[in-house]
Amino acid sequence: MEIVRTIVSSKKNKTWFEIAHVLSSPARKRIVLNIEEIDREIKSGERVVIPGKVLSQGEITKKAEIIAIGFSEKAKEKLLKAGCKTSNLLEEIKKNPEAKNIKILKK
C-alpha cells in the first residue's frame, strides 16, 4: 500500500518526519483539501506538499507544483489544465530527502 511506503520513507528522514506523523493519524483525520483552499494558501511558483488528498472543488489561479498522496481525477485534470505540475509524495521524498523549497499545507 502506497501510504504505508510513504510513511516508512518519511520516518527515515527527520525533515519529512512531520509528514509521517500526519499520515499516521486515523483515516478520519487525514487531510483532504479542495483546489480552492490550496489556491488561497499558495503563491505562484511554490512547491506545495499536501499530506493527504486533493479534491476538485473550485479553481486554481496560480501555477505551482502540487505534491500529494493522491488526487481525484478531476482535480488532477484542473491542475494540469491551469499549468500546475502534480507529483506523488513518495516520489518527492525519494528525490528531495532534505525537503528543500517546499511548503507544507495542512488544514
Which helix (H) or strand (E) segment holds residue 69: the answer is strand 65-71
pLDDT at 27: 76
Q: What is the pLDDT of residues 26-56, one digit of tens each?
A: 877 778 999 999 999 999 999 999 999 999 9
> Could you tell me which residues come within 8 angstroms of residue 34 by beta carbon, excluding any fewer than 6 positions away?
54, 55, 56, 57, 58, 75
Assigned C-alpha cell, 57: 472543488
Number of domains in the chain: 1
Reported residue count of the chain is: 107
Assigned C-alpha cell, 43: 503563491
Identify the CATH number of the domain in which residue 14 sits: 3.100.10.10
Band the pLDDT of 6: cuts 50, 70, 90.
confident
Range of the domain at 23: 2-104
With b meaning 16 or more CB within 10 Å and e meaning fewer, what string describes 30-58?
A: bbebebebbbeebeeebbbbbbbebbbee
